[in-house]
């Protein structure tokens, strides 16, 4: 099992700032992840939440299962120590994914508290970053 976990506002893909995030909907993202997983012969669970406690519970489940995680922490990237600490517990791979290039955006978005505990980081490649993350985990 690979968990694909998405943080706040990603459920609004397709309508939220399409000039930054594109017109791809959240359902398109889910469908793509499921299709890629099928091609790779793995099982994924794709989730999205706007609630910090829910994200932490999913990360704890991944810890308990020794599962790999693809994580788009969204706004939590820049300040959420509780989510960072849950990520630090992971025994499997953790790939941090961002649809936009956070380094080309506002200065406060340039730093991630998650990156230091991640296996790798993919930013700025749109939802294709999720495909690359899943492929990396499966290698």
Q: Catalytic: 98?
A: yes
Q: Catalytic: 79?
A: no
Tens of pLDDT, residue by residue over 24-47, are 999 999 999 999 999 999 999 999
* Residue ranges covered by each domain of the chain: 2-138
Q: Two tokens at 101? A: 């290039």
User: Of residues 98, 103, 111, 130, which has the active-site annotation?
Assistant: 98
Domain 2-138 in this protein, CATH class: alpha beta
Residues of the chain with pLDDT under 50: none
Contact 118, 94 (CB under 8 A): yes
Tell me what pLDDT residue 16 has. Answer: 79
Tell me what pLDDT residue 51 has. Answer: 98
Q: Which residues are annotated as a binding site for substrate?
A: 72, 78, 85, 99-100, 109
Tell me what pLDDT residue 104 has. Answer: 65
Q: What does the alpha-carbon distance between residue 138 and residue 82 come to, in Å, rounded to a whole number?
A: 27
User: Of residues 21, 79, 110, 130, which has the active-site annotation?
Assistant: 21
């Amino acid at each position: 099992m690979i968990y694909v976990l998405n943080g706040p506002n990603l459920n609004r893909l397709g309508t939220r700032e399409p000039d930054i995030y594109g017109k791809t909907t959240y359902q398109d993202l889910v469908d793509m992840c499921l299709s890629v997983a099928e091609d790779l012969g793995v099982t994924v669970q794709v989730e999205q939440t706007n609630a910090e406690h829910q994200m932490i519970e999913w990360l704890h489940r991944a810890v308990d299962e020794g599962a790999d995680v693809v994580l788009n922490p969204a706004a939590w990237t820049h300040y959420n120590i509780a989510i960072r600490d849950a990520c630090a517990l992971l025994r499997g791979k953790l790939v941090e994914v961002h649809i936009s290039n956070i380094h080309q955006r506002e200065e406060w978005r340039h730093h991630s508290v998650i990156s230091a505990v991640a296996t790798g980081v993919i930013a700025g490649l749109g939802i294709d970053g999720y495909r690359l993350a899943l492929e990396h985990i499966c290698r």
